[in-house]
C-alpha cells in the first residue's frame, strides 16, 4: 500500500476587492459600481420585469438594459446607477467618516 503525498496548494488571500487584487486603476470606484449594479440587477430580477419595461422605468435604451442585466456595470457611472436606485423607489444614504487603516475608502452597504 503506497501513501501519496498531497501537494499543498498555494493561494493568496484576496483583499475583498477583486479589482484592487488585479491591480486595476480606480479599483475602489469599480468595486462600488459593481456593488450598486448588482443591487439594481437584483431588484429588477425580483420584480420580473421585461427589458422593455426596465427601459421605461430606468429611462434608458433597451440596449443599455441588456448591458445592465449582463453585469456590464462599468458602462454606467456611479451617479447613473444611483439614479436607477431612485427610479426603483430606493433611498440612498451617503455617509462620510474618517478613514481607518486597512479599510476600504469606499464602502457600500445595503439595508434589508
Q: pLDDT by residue (tens digit) across 42-78?
A: 999 999 999 999 999 999 999 999 999 999 999 999 9
- The CATH architecture of the domain made up of 18-87 is Orthogonal Bundle (1.10)
- The CA distance from 71 to 80, in Å, is 15
| pTM, entire model | 0.79
Q: How confident is the model at residue 1 (pLDDT cuts 50, 70, 90)?
A: low
Coil vs helix vs strand at 26: coil
**Residue among 108, 107, 106, 105 at smallest CA distance from 85:** 108
Q: How confident is the model at residue 3 (pLDDT cuts 50, 70, 90)?
A: low
- What pLDDT is stored for residue 60 in this prediction? 97
Amino acid at each position: 500500500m503506497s501513501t501519496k503525498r498531497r501537494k499543498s496548494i498555494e493561494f493568496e488571500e484576496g483583499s475583498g476587492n477583486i479589482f484592487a487584487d488585479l491591480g486595476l486603476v480606480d479599483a475602489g470606484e469599480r468595486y462600488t459600481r459593481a456593488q450598486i449594479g448588482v443591487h439594481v440587477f437584483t431588484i429588477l430580477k425580483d420584480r420580473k420585469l421585461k427589458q422593455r419595461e426596465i427601459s421605461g422605468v430606468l429611462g434608458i435604451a433597451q440596449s443599455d438594459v441588456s448591458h445592465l442585466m449582463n453585469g456590464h456595470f462599468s458602462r454606467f457611472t456611479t451617479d447613473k446607477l444611483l439614479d436607477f436606485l431612485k427610479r426603483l423607489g430606493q433611498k440612498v444614504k451617503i455617509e462620510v467618516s474618517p478613514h481607518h487603516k486597512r479599510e476600504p475608502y469606499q464602502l457600500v452597504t445595503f439595508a434589508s
